[in-house]
Amino acid sequence: MLKLEKSRSMENPVIIFGASGIGKVALDIFSSKNIITYCFLDDDSALHETEVNDVVVMGSTKDDGFLKFIGKKCEAFVAIEDITERKRIVKMLHKKRKVMPVNAIHEKAIISNHAFIGYGNLINAGAVINAGVKVPNHCLLHSNATLEFDVQLEEFTQIGAGSTIGAKAVIKEGALIGAGATIAAGVTIGERAQIAPGSVVFKNIEADDIVFGNPAGTIEKSS
């Protein structure tokens, strides 16, 4: 296993895609590590030329005038919650710029030296990642989320603030675990499933299910 963040120093400034909530969190993380944020890019034109903590939202995520810097003078981080849009931007960065987004890992996250961390992940303050855990690419782990030993995440998963993922649980691609939820040890959460905040899940959840409660039960399939 390899914890990539410790083995790679970041010398270039970062362009953050998305100037809303997660973008602000990413900016704080980079600033705390003395990493310069060059600018934000956001598709909401109302944000263009505004500032987030003195960093300017310079244009859209499709603006080649700024994209040309990525992979040469700047790194990229995708700070957008919507999975479809995040996937679009990641695909664009692969195709046009031949790069992977960097990680935004808070200095107060606790990460085992025997965990695997890929690329493009946000891991916020207080998150705990134990031995044998796999966090691949493009995952969002919010404040105080806990992943017990041997948890396996797939790409584009989101783990809400204060949630606990039990040992050897598997969270499939695109699944969303709400804030304060608990996933029991060994449980598998299917692709794109959504676990409501505060729910307690004791059994496997199928793809696209939306579940709620303690114990959690399916309330509908996502469209």
Task: Tell me what pLDDT residue 217 has.
Answer: 87
pLDDT of residue 219: 84
Q: 152-209, pLDDT tens digit by residue?
A: 999 999 999 999 999 999 999 999 999 999 999 999 999 999 999 999 999 999 999 9
The CATH classification number of 105-214 equals 2.160.10.10
Q: What is the per-residue pLDDT for 221?
A: 75
DSSP H helical ranges for 52-147 = 64-67, 83-92
Q: Are strands 216-221 and 209-213 parallel, antiparallel or unpaired?
A: antiparallel
- Residues in the chain with pLDDT values less than 50: 1-8
How high is the pLDDT of residue 147? 98
Domain map (residue ranges) of the chain: 9-102, 105-214
Q: Which CATH class is domain 9-102?
A: alpha beta
Sign of CA dihedral 14, 95, 86, 106: negative
Q: What is the pLDDT of residue 51?
A: 94
Least Cα distance to 201 among 172, 178, 220 occurs for 178
pLDDT of residue 223: 61
Sole residue written with tokens 């031949």: 98
> Which residue, 155, 194, 201, 157, is CA-closest to 178?
194
**Distance between CA atoms of residues 161 and 192, nearest Å:** 18
Q: Distance between CA atoms of 152 and 168, rounded to whole angstroms?
A: 7
Q: Does the predicted model carry a pTM greater than 0.75? A: yes
